[in-house]
Amino acid sequence: MNMIKTAMLLAFMTALFMGIGLLIGGRGGMMVAFLLAAGMNLFSYWNADKLVLRLHHAVEVDERTAPEYYRIVAGLAARAGLPMPRVYVIRQDQPNAFATGRNPRNAAVAATTGLLERLTPQEVAGVMAHELAHVQNRDTLIMTLTATLAGAISMLGNFAFFMGGNRDNNNPFGFVGVILAMIVAPFAAMLVQMAISRTREYSADRRGAEICGEPLWLASALAKIAAAAGRTVNVEAERNPATAHMFIVNPLNGQRMDSLFSTHPDTENRIEALRSMTDISGGGPAAAPTAPARPAAGPWSGRVAGTARGPRPTGAPRKGPWG
């Protein structure tokens, strides 16, 4: 049902983009808009992951430089039946994470140092399972195309202001059409982009809980991330708000906004949905996870990536999941 909803929203956004071209320049303008959208989507398809990682100064790590974090991702990828993605760390105090890449074979996951330092290994596993769910569902591609179309629609809306007055003969709706293209269309595109983002987050939460095996690990992580995100400024995200929809929790400081204008679902609603998964299955711990319920219960414990690794005794010191 979520895939059908996403397809309908993407179709609406594409039609909206071509409609603006029609309002600005008639049928010729509509074809130009279509070709422009195709070109921008093609560019995003091949380059968006590199651009996003560069914008947030992400540094690639491996089993040597970030052993525990890397093994968590490797174990989760194996459980999900996915190729091993590239793994990145972002030096940022705000706990957060995102996934990017055009397909599972060209995917990357990134977590901030704030997330890796503040969360338990189980919670890190829940977060990274959520990001791998985005990769498996190809949400990284869907959201890249959505963001590209939304940006192009806003650009055409501004373009209509300059072109509409001079080419009324090509505009079948006259000045009213220009106003609609300039104001209503970018606003509608923004709402559609946010609706798609919220839909994909719920799907990734559910699939991520299935991958890691414990819905409450992700629920506990979401509560911690949301509590810290509103108190910590993510400078790079504030400079590049178009990438906000990629993160597991909204990284922008304007957290308390109406849900209609949010790129993410309400965190409490997401936590309740994850808890209901535990209720339906009749299993799982009764409280937020702080230690494994049994040996080798999840992908962060047991033998991962060829290394024997048992559960750590409660209270024992640890270096943290990023090494």
Q: Which position among 68, 123, 131, 214 bears the catalytic label?
A: 131
Tell me the two tokens of residue 279.
Answer: 């209720």
Residue 15 in 3-state DSSP?
Answer: helix
Angle at CA 61, nearest 5°, toward 60 and 67?
165
Nearest to 50 by CA among 105, 100, 113: 100
Give the type of residue at 76: L
Residue 131 a catalytic site member: yes
State how far the Cα of 61 lies from the Cα of 316, in Å rounded to an integer. 25
Within 10 Å of residue 286's Cβ, how many Cβ atoms? 6
Residue 323 in 3-state DSSP?
Answer: coil
DSSP string, 158-227: HHHHHHTTT-GGG-TTHHHHHHIIIIIHHHHHHHHHHHHHHHHHHHHHHHHHHHHS-HHHHHHHHHHHHH
DSSP string, 251-291: -SS--S--GGG-SS--HHHHHHHHHHHHHHHT-S-SS--SS
State how far the Cα of 202 lies from the Cα of 130, in Å rounded to an integer. 10
What amino acid positions are annotated as catalytic residues? 131
